[in-house]
Amino acid sequence: MRTLVFRLMAAVFMIFPGIDAVAADRVAADRPVLVELFTSQGCSSCPTADAFLHELAAREDVIALALHVDYWDYIFDDIFGKAAHTERQYGYAATGGRDMVYTPQMVINGEHDVVGNRAQDVNALIEKHLAAPGAVALTLTRDADQMLVSAVADDGLDVPLIVLLARYIPQQTVSIDHGENAGQTYSYINIVTDLTELARWDPAQPFEMKVSAPPDSALAVIVQRPGYGKVEAAALLR
């Protein structure tokens, strides 16, 4: 069904070329690309990527999340660093056939990795994923202190999917007092504090689930193939 919608929109663009840009932007905003930045406050190469993530987070067609790892904590104890984020990064590496991890690394829609401070390369991968047809439509709706997660998949998608919930801090400034970045103060954005599995979803049926969402909470949902596979959809609760 979703593929049919994209084809119908393409036909409209051919008839009314003047609406190409507006309509294309709207479609992209409906299926944003997930960018995960693996970073650390103990990494001297990371501040440029951390700053670049601010730019990506401002885009409507990108879901930008920072996952601080803990393997540089012998240099500076990253207050956001988590072993679970390191595990996720190693999971991506194993799935992609890579033997090592590094910071700053950005993973685009779970499929491609790139050095996080190479803005041109990152943007090129984002555009590549935006141009690809989406197979899952994901919607997040706030209802008082709850969030309704709704998703529907194309008929051709027959692999089980994992629905993940990310809780994050929208922005926080930190002063670094020792290590490679000593004496510097940095602003971090969309800092993931918890990433948990909500459900396993059979995409043959629509998905609906309610999640606790206090008014001040910042939440994102990721729909991903198992084994650190392709991200089929991502959304922020706005």
Write out pLDDT tens, residues 82-128: 999 999 999 999 999 998 999 999 999 999 999 999 999 999 999 99
Cβ atoms of 191 and 68 within 8 Å: the answer is: yes
- Domain spans of the chain? 1-30, 31-236
Architecture of domain 31-236: 3-Layer(aba) Sandwich (3.40)
pLDDT of residue 29: 52
Average pLDDT taken over every residue of the chain: 90
pLDDT of residue 26: 40
Look at the alpha carbons of 57, 51, 191, 90 in this order and tell me if their dihedral is positive or negative. Answer: positive
Share of the chain above pLDDT 90, in %: 82
Residue ranges of alpha helices (H) inside the chain are 2-15, 20-30, 46-57, 83-95, 119-131
Cβ atoms of 69 and 85 within 8 Å: the answer is: yes
pTM score, two decimals?
0.88
- Angstrom CA distances, 100 to 60, 86, 91, 103, 143, stand at 32, 11, 11, 11, 43
How far apart CA 91 and CA 85 sit, in angstroms, is: 10
State mean pLDDT over 202-224: 96
Smallest CA-to-CA distance from 222 within 167, 169, 164 is with 164
